[in-house]
Amino acid sequence: MPGRPEVAPYLHGVADWEPPETHVAWRADIALLAAASREDDMGQAVPCSKDELEEVFEAFPLRSVEQLRDRSDRVQEELQKIAKRLKDNAQNRTASPPPDHAESEDPNDTSNEPEGEVRKGEGRPIESNPWVVLMHAGTMERARLDDIAPADKGNAKQVQRRPAFATVVLPVEVGGLKDGMLKGDEPPTKDARSLDVAEVARDGTPSRQRVVLKGDESGALLDGKIADGVTRASVILATTDEDAEPGRIEYRVAKGQDREPGRRGASHGHTRPLTRTDARRNRRNPHAATWWAIAARSVGGTVGMVPSRRARRCDARGNSRGDR
């Protein structure tokens, strides 16, 4: 609020020096964007251009509910574990199949591939060294996971500054989330898309949506009914079939939902949803925590307050309006 001092110094104190921190988020469209545009001479997918990437995140910006935060050295350590796990999985896939299971010649047969490592609709696992998005000081770039979390400890120290004070956006297929914490050893869940909470507004009602269109077919990137909305960005997806019409992914956003919920310019208190889906049927947010309750308990314990039933009922909705 204007005229009010910042509360963070009173809650956490003022430190002379603090280690750099890194934010981490997961998006289900990162793998698609990495395979967009075209293929190079070696047959490798070329990611979408930097301009397209900036357009995507301008239309579909990261929200605080999507992000985890920790010290940069800890984040890099967990990212190294993710990179190692992906490489181990790739080596296991290239090993000979079990004797009782014949290897299929169908390239779309994913019966030998581990669950949770396969892209939706792609019929193939995520790369062992996938593309990620790195945001730093207003700039955005694509990078390989090994570029920011190399296995060699010497190289890791050299690139340690790269993820410092930055945000790393991972494809959901890599996993790495457990109990709301970044855990590199944790494989993706059966439906890896559950790590993507970009389409869930603060009140649990979806207000923006990503739609994948291929020929005459279309489908929501995440579960849910396709709804009409304003397309703020669109990226053409690469295809190996020269006769097929290339698909695209559209970023549709409801009016007033292109900013952080609760900030000036966003629809606060009266969210305009894209769909009429009952909020109770929406997928649970794996990142979500009752941060207002945690903060209340922390502050109350510090000053010696005893929590009461009435105090527990006071949530962030009242505080956000400034009437408590």
The confidence score (pLDDT) of residue 87 equals 92
pTM of the model: 0.68
pLDDT at 102 (0 to 100)? 47
Q: Which two tokens stand for residue 75?
A: 């984040």
Residues in the chain: 324
User: What pLDDT score does 151 carry?
Assistant: 82
pLDDT at 261: 59
Residue pLDDT, tens place only, 82-109 = 999 999 988 888 775 555 544 444 444 4
How much is the pLDDT for 118?
Answer: 40
Report pLDDT for 246.
Answer: 77
- In the chain, which stretches have pLDDT less than 50? 101-123, 265-286, 288-294, 303, 306, 308-321, 323-324
Cβ(144)–Cβ(76) below 8 Å: no
How many C-beta neighbours within 10 Å does residue 291 have? 11
What Cα–Cα distance (Å) separates residue 101 from each residue in 111, 123, 124? 10, 19, 18
Give the per-residue pLDDT at 45: 62
CA 195 to chain centre: 7
Sign, Cα dihedral of 180, 183, 185, 187: positive
Residue 167 C-beta-side C-alpha neighbours within 13 Å: 17
Round to whole Å and give the CA distance between 264 and 115. 42
Q: For position 267, what pLDDT does the model report?
A: 39
Tell me how far apart the alpha carbons of residues 163 and 149 are, in angstroms, rounded to a whole number: 9
pLDDT of residue 158: 73
- Model pLDDT, residue 292: 46
